[in-house]
Amino acid sequence: MVTVIYEDDTVILVHKKSGIPVQTKRAGEKDMVSILKNYRAKKGEEPYIGLVHRLDQPVEGVMVFAKTEPALSHLSRQISGGKLEKYYRAVVCLQPGEVVKTGEEYTLTDYLLKDGKSNCSSVTKPSVSGAKKAVLSYCFLNQGEGLAEVFVKLYTGRHHQIRVQMSHRGYPLAGDRKYGGDLALKAAEGNHIALCAVKIGFTHPKTLKKVEFSVTPENPIFRKLKEQG
C-alpha cells in the first residue's frame, strides 16, 4: 500500500495514492501517517512520523514525511518560509472549440475563503475576513479532445488551491466532483481527480543540500491525453 521512493534516517518520501487520506480521525480508515508508522514498526524502528504537509485525499503524488522531530522542525520552517517547492501536473477541461497556447506561463493571484462546514473554498475579495492570498503559476503542456495538461508551480498552500483557482478561470480539473461540475465528471477516468504532485524540492534537514524528488502520475487520463496529442 505504501510506495517509498526515497528513505534515510531523517526523511521518507512516498508516492501517495489517490483515495488515501494523509491523516484521518475516522475509526478503521487507513491514512498515510498510520501506514508509515506501521511500515517503520515492521522494520523494528521507532514508529515516529512527522507530518510536514498535506495532499487532498483524491489527489496523488510525492510527499515528504519526517522521521525525527528535529527533521520535522527543519522542514516545517521551510514550509512557513515558502522554501519548500511543490510542482503539479493536472488535466483540465476546455470549452468546446477552445485552443490553448502551450509553453507560455501564466500567474494566478486570488484570495480564497474556506468554508469549514462544506469543506470548500472559494475566490473572494481581499477585504473579506478570513480570506487568504493564493498564488500559483501554470503553463499548458499539450492539448487533446476538450482537455489540456497543465504544469503548475504552487507558491502558497491554500485549501484546495489548484482546484479552486483553475476552476475559477474556467479550467476545472477532470474528475473534480466538488469544483468541476458536469464537464469535469464526463472527462473523469474512474473516480480520480486528474491532479498529481509530481515534484518536490527542499533543503535536506541533515545534509543541508537542496534535493528534489519526482513521480509520474498514475491516473490513466495523463497517458490518454498524451496519446491524443
Segment 31-55, tens digit of pLDDT:
999 999 999 999 999 999 999 999 9
Cell of 19: 483515495
pLDDT at 229: 60
Q: What are the beta bridge partners of residue 88?
A: 152, 197
Cell of 102: 502551450
Candidates 185, 187, 169; CA nearest to 177 is 185
Banded model confidence at residue 174, pLDDT cuts 50, 70, 90: very high
Mean pLDDT (whole number) for 18-37: 88
Mapping DSSP onto H, E and C, the string for the chain reads: CCCEEEECCCEEEEEECCCCCCCCCCCCCCCHHHHHHHHHHHCCCCCCCEECCCCCCCCEEEEEEECCHHHHHHHHHHHHCCCCEEEEEEEEECCCCCCCCECCEEEEEEEEEEECCCCEEEEECCCCCCCEEEEEEEEEEEECCCEEEEEEEECCCCCCHHHHHHHHCCCCECCCCCCCHHHHHHCCECCECCEEEEEEEEECCCCCCEEEEECCCCCHHHHHHHHHC
Task: Report the CATH number at residue 56.
Answer: 3.30.2350.10
Q: Yes or no: say if 40 and 11 are a contact pair by the CB < 8 Å rule.
A: no
Domain that holds residue 19: 4-228
pLDDT at 87: 98
pLDDT at 70: 97
- Per the listing, cell 517509498 goes with 4
Decide: residue 203, CB within 10 A, 0-12 exposed, 13-18 middle, 19+ buried: middle
Q: Yes or no: say if 159 and 101 are a contact pair by the CB < 8 Å rule.
A: no
Report the largest interatomic distance among the alpha carbons of the chain, rounded to a whole angstrom.
Answer: 57
Between vectors from CA 190 to CA 24 and to CA 17, what angle results, nearest 5°? Answer: 40
Q: Yes or no: say if 90 and 142 are a contact pair by the CB < 8 Å rule.
A: no
pLDDT at 1: 67
Q: Is the pLDDT of residue 181 over 90?
A: no
Q: Is the pLDDT of residue 187 over 80?
A: no
Q: Is the pLDDT of residue 20 over 80?
A: yes
Banded model confidence at residue 24, pLDDT cuts 50, 70, 90: confident
Q: Is the pLDDT of residue 191 over 90?
A: no
Banded model confidence at residue 183, pLDDT cuts 50, 70, 90: confident
Segment 108-155, tens digit of pLDDT:
999 999 998 999 999 999 999 999 999 999 999 999 888 999 999 999
Structural domain count of the chain: 1
pTM: 0.93
pLDDT at 52: 96
Round the average pLDDT of the chain to a whole number and report it: 92
Segment 70-99, tens digit of pLDDT:
999 999 999 999 899 999 999 999 988 889
